[in-house]
Amino acid sequence: MMKTSPGKPKPLGATVTGDGVQFALFSRDATAVYLALFDSSTDARPREEISLDPHRHRSGDIWHITVDGLSAGALYLFRVDGPHEPEEGLRFNANKYLLDPYAKALTADHRWDFSHSLGYDTDSEDADLSFSRESNGEYVPKCIVIDDSFDWEGDQPLNYPLRFSVIYETHVRGLTRHPSSGVRHPGTYRGVTEMIPYLKELGITSLELLPIHEFDKHELRRTHPVTGEKLTNYWGYSSIAFFAPRARYAVDTTPGGQVREFKQMVKELHAAGIEVILDVVFNHTGEGNEYGPTISFRGIDNRVYYMLDERRRYYKNYSGCGNTLNCNHPIVRALIRDCLHYWVVEMHIDGFRFDLGSILGRDQRGNLMENPPMLEGIAEDPILRNTKIIAEAWDAGGAYQVGWFPGGRWAEWNDRFRDDVRRFVRGDKGLVADFATRISGSSDLYLRDGRKPFHSINFVTSHDGFTLRDLVSYTRKHNEDNGENNRDGHNHDYGHNYGVEGDTSNPNVLRVRRRQIKNFLASLLLSLGTPMLLGGDEFGRTQRGNNNAYCQDNEISWCDWDLLQQYADIHRFTRILIRFRLTHPAFLRPEFFTGRDSSYNAIPDISWSDETGRPMDWSSARNLLAVLIDGSKAEIHADRDDNDFYIMFNSTTREHSFVICRPPAGRRWYRVIDTSLDSPADIVEPGAEVDLQDAERYSVGARTIVLLLAR
């Protein structure tokens, strides 16, 4: 029997002390709490179980105890007893071992499979029938006590201002899992570290990782419709331990090794000048609906952690995943804030992208709030003051708040940019005004509440939808491999195959597709706002038309690095374009355009015209547009003058002759980009720009973007 003392109610979770480990767990409605200590991750029964005395080990709603002689690496779980009354929202089950919501690491040397090994509660109107007496100790992963000490060697989060950022969205496993990656540790944090030279050469500033919090990869019940192979949760949008980096992404299998390896990855990325942004899923958990497994929150205090239906047996489902986290309950708000603090302070994370962020703005009944305390609290949190906070400003319950996301300084994924740019570049008619609004910063969305252009996270593609190559290769989605009869995924991706659905050897089709890829990249990286690039788009990654590859942990989702050679021109185009953007402050301006002259040089900060040089008629159905950007430092809010720029857009299927406006006195126009030209003429290195001499017109090819600079 181990020696214990009452301990303290704070901090929650497991904390290494001088003589042992303190444990603290919130549960308001529990009648008994048991701390179970294990020798092995596969043990069905603990070597010792300690009953917490509610008179000695409880302060308010916090159960706490210190166990002497324990140290980092110790394995533990909780059992929590209390009323099992589903009709009242109470789902305690003392037979279930539960994960600590504040656990910083979980074991991984066993098969996660809650849907089969752990057993579901069979929900019924009869409370007795819905109570599973099956123990889960043999199958549930164990929580690991973590010592947070780590030699950071002076590292701190980089926290680049948004307007100086180029975000690269990728998946820890998918980035290097393909055999072509050439790394020594594919599919791991260490594998990401081995990719640093590539990422640095590409020029991105910020690596955004799909969810790395622990989740059950095997939660899906479907199989591949042809091969019969079991489909898995690849993306990981089903978190169950918000403080714990996924152990299966680590090479180091010693207890807590995933934490050390993750920290080392962050430290080395920072040393290379690349910051780390995490995609976080605080809108629901992996426990699913009323038929789901009891893993953690449900068995600790179901009606505090989850948003319950008026019939309290059931869950409100604004996430589309069976349950909704009760984000504006004070206990859950504290959990989320504590979690964000941990990732910033202990793990040195630079930012967060909040999946289905609108759920964090719903009250405990599910209503959208005008001033949600959760969102305002994150925005005003002093520890998070320099941390990027990016919202997916919608949810599966019908909320859509792009341009209206509450809470102050939040940036947003701008799906209006995605759709308007996709449709304009594809050639849809009558979109010239919408396209111009998007590439100039989306002032219609962000100006009214005082936010800046960089609060718009501009993207053409993301993990959710087509890759860039697929966007120009498929007119419709092809998700048959997901086992849902192609019903899942977006139905409005605005893709176009340019004559052949999918792969082809037709040189004319391939030529148009390559040009369109470059047009999308140019539209993204020359726009005002913060650009986000989907990993692999820079070398033609394909998902074979699957626009919802969440369950494809295979070559459909992995980056095939052999494509780097086949699409070397796209990679070169992207690399030079990123460097061009970050070199020119005119494309990084922190304020919206006004259309006025603030530098007293008789040139407005931005001027729009048609192909004839006349002021733009915004009612025109012709997708022909030219824009002049004044690079004077007073206009771009910089400490030095930049070049002036003239950009011509032609998304029609015909070549058009554009009138070129006069350059500033004593300067001439030089061509930087012409997407109709073959590489390397499509984009030139700095200093190799092509002198147009005194040309007054420029022939802009069909489906082409041309960029000129004056010097």
Q: pLDDT class for 128, splitting at 50, 70, 90?
A: very low
* 671 is a domain residue: yes
Q: How far apart are CA 705 and CA 588, in angstroms?
A: 20
- In the numeric block, the tokens 């570049």 are attached to 425
pLDDT at residue 298 greater than cutoff 70: yes
Q: Are 377 and 332 in contact (CB under 8 A)?
A: no
Residue 262, C-beta contacts closer than 8 angstroms, at least 6 positions apart:
189, 212, 245, 250, 347
Q: pLDDT class for 133, splitting at 50, 70, 90?
A: confident
* 331 is a domain residue: no
Q: In CATH, what number is assigned to the domain containing residue 645?
A: 2.60.40.1180
- Average pLDDT over all residues of the chain: 95
Q: Are 65 and 6 in contact (CB under 8 A)?
A: yes
Q: How far apart are CA 335 and CA 318, in angstroms?
A: 20
The domain in which residue 607 lies consists of 603-710
pLDDT at 110: 63
Told to judge if 355 belongs to the known catalytic residues of this protein, a careful annotator would answer yes
Average pLDDT over residues 604-621: 95
Q: pLDDT class for 122, splitting at 50, 70, 90?
A: low
pLDDT at 121: 54
Marked catalytic residue, from 29, 216, 261, 392: 392
Which of 144, 173, 193 represents a domain boundary (last residue)?
Answer: 144
Q: pLDDT class for 1, splitting at 50, 70, 90?
A: confident
What beta strand segments (E) does 251-378 contain? 275-280, 351-354
pLDDT at residue 126 greater than cutoff 60: no
pLDDT at 131: 64
Q: pLDDT class for 118, splitting at 50, 70, 90?
A: very low
Which strand ranges, in their side-by-side order, compose the sheet holding 645-650?
606-609, 624-629, 645-650, 704-710, 669-674, 690-691
Instruction: Tell me the backbone φ, ψ of residue 265, rounded to 5 degrees.
Output: -60, -45
Told to judge if 194 belongs to the known catalytic residues of this protein, a careful annotator would answer no
- Per-residue pLDDT of 431-459, as tens digits, reads 999 999 999 999 999 999 999 999 999 99
**What letter does residue 367 receive in the DSSP assignment?**
P
Which of 144, 175, 191 represents a domain boundary (last residue)?
Answer: 144
Average pLDDT over residues 277-303: 96
Marked catalytic residue, from 194, 355, 493, 630: 355
Give the per-residue SS3 of 425-469: HHCCCCCHHHHHHHHCCCHHHHCCCCCCHHHEEEECCCCCCCCHH
Q: In CATH, what number is assigned to the domain containing residue 62?
A: 2.60.40.10
* 8 is a domain residue: yes
Q: How far apart are CA 560 and CA 539, in angstroms?
A: 9
Instruction: Tell me the backbone φ, ψ of residue 231, rounded to 5 degrees.
Output: -80, 150
**What letter does residue 359 receive in the DSSP assignment?**
G
Average pLDDT over residues 424-436: 97
* 118 is a domain residue: yes
Q: pLDDT class for 119, splitting at 50, 70, 90?
A: very low
Residue 174 host element (H or E): helix 172-176
**Total number of domains constituting the chain:** 2
pLDDT at 598: 80
- In the numeric block, the tokens 């043990």 are attached to 43
* 635 is a domain residue: yes
pLDDT at 129: 44
Which of 144, 162, 178 represents a domain boundary (last residue)?
Answer: 144
Residue 598, C-beta contacts closer than 8 angstroms, at least 6 positions apart:
605, 634, 635
Handedness of CA 372, 377, 378, 379 (dihedral sign): positive
- Per-residue pLDDT of 556-586, as tens digits, reads 999 999 999 999 999 999 999 999 999 999 9
pLDDT at 600: 76
- For a pLDDT cut of 90, what percent of the chain falls above it? 91
Q: Are 545 and 502 in contact (CB under 8 A)?
A: yes
- Per-residue pLDDT of 412-423, as tens digits, reads 999 999 999 999
- Per-residue pLDDT of 66-109, as tens digits, reads 999 999 999 999 999 999 999 999 999 999 999 999 999 999 86
pLDDT at residue 324 greater than cutoff 80: yes
Per-residue exposure over 44-72, b if at least 16 CB sit within 10 Å of its own CB, e if not:
eebeeebebeeeebbeeebbbbbbeebeb
CB atoms within 10 A of CB 365: 11
pLDDT at residue 124 greater than cutoff 90: no
CA nearest neighbour of 76 among 249, 336, 255: 255
pTM of this structure: 0.97
* 177 is a domain residue: no
Q: Are 366 and 318 in contact (CB under 8 A)?
A: yes
Residue 419 host element (H or E): helix 415-426
pLDDT at residue 125 greater than cutoff 90: no
Could you give the 3-state DSSP secondary structure of residue 118?
helix
* 290 is a domain residue: no
Looking at this protein, which amino acid is placed at residue 322?
Answer: G
* 103 is a domain residue: yes
Q: pLDDT class for 123, splitting at 50, 70, 90?
A: low
pLDDT at 697: 97
- Per-residue pLDDT of 206-219, as tens digits, reads 999 999 999 999 99
- Per-residue pLDDT of 369-422, as tens digits, reads 999 999 999 999 999 999 999 999 999 999 999 999 998 899 999 999 999 999
